[in-house]
Amino acid sequence: MNEGIKLSVDVLIKPFEGYARRLPNGDCVAYPDPATGAEPWTIGYGSTGSGIGPGTMWSKDQAEQRLQEHVRYFSQGLVRLSPKLLQASPRRFAAVLSWAYNCGLGNYRISTFKKRVDAGDWDGAASECLKWNKAAGRVLPGLTRRRQAESMLMR
């Protein structure tokens, strides 16, 4: 699982989330959701939640710490929801973790994607994954690229 977590962070989460709105001193500042232009406000490597809004500023260390906390939270949540993921290859675990980090455990819990993962139907999971490329009803090119990368790792 640790290899899958590292792969997810290094190959999927950090590159696709990015370290957005970096300031000249290396800190970062919150920005509005690209799809809505407002909520949810995001900072660091895709962190959202209470206390994050216009004007929120974090150091690079704060962003890295929150990333690690979120990755731990999502990986533990995935294993609770889909215990068989512990038997998946690191690349498949990485892909599912990246998806959950981006789409949320609530969406994962109710998705056909999860049903395919739980059944060990990796081709089906890869196909379902591709459907999650929209935000606020609009297809986003960045989400399409991310889902393609995740899908490729599941096959």
Name the pTM for this structure.
0.94
Number of domains in the chain: 1
Q: What sections of the chain are H helices per DSSP?
A: 2-7, 14-17, 60-81, 90-103, 105-110, 112-118, 122-130, 141-154
Kindly indicate the confidence band of residue 33, based on its pLDDT and cuts at 50, 70 and 90: confident
Q: Could you tell me the CATH number of the domain that includes residue 83?
A: 1.10.530.40
51 φ/ψ sector (left φ>0, alpha ψ -120 to 50, else beta): left
Which residue range is the domain that position 94 belongs to?
Answer: 2-154
Read off the pLDDT of residues 92-138 as tens digits, 9 standing for 90 and up: 999 999 999 999 999 999 999 999 999 999 999 999 999 999 988 99
* Angle formed at CA 111 by CA 52 and CA 109, multiple of 5 degrees: 60
Report residue 5: phi and psi, to 5°: -65, -45
- Give the pLDDT confidence score for residue 136 in this predicted structure: 85
- Give the pLDDT confidence score for residue 46 in this predicted structure: 94
pLDDT at residue 154 above 80? yes
Read off the pLDDT of residues 61-87 as tens digits, 9 standing for 90 and up: 999 999 999 999 999 999 999 999 999
CA distance 100 to 103: 5
- Give the pLDDT confidence score for residue 34 in this predicted structure: 81
Is there a catalytic annotation at residue 17?
yes
Q: 139 pairs with which residues across the strands?
A: 134
CA 126, 117, 66, 37 dihedral sign is positive
Residue in 3, 17, 39, 150 annotated catalytic: 17
- Give the pLDDT confidence score for residue 35 in this predicted structure: 80
Q: Give percent above pLDDT 90 in the chain.
A: 92
* Angle formed at CA 89 by CA 84 and CA 92, multiple of 5 degrees: 85
Kindly indicate the confidence band of residue 153, based on its pLDDT and cuts at 50, 70 and 90: very high
pLDDT at residue 1 above 80? no
- Give the pLDDT confidence score for residue 146 in this predicted structure: 98
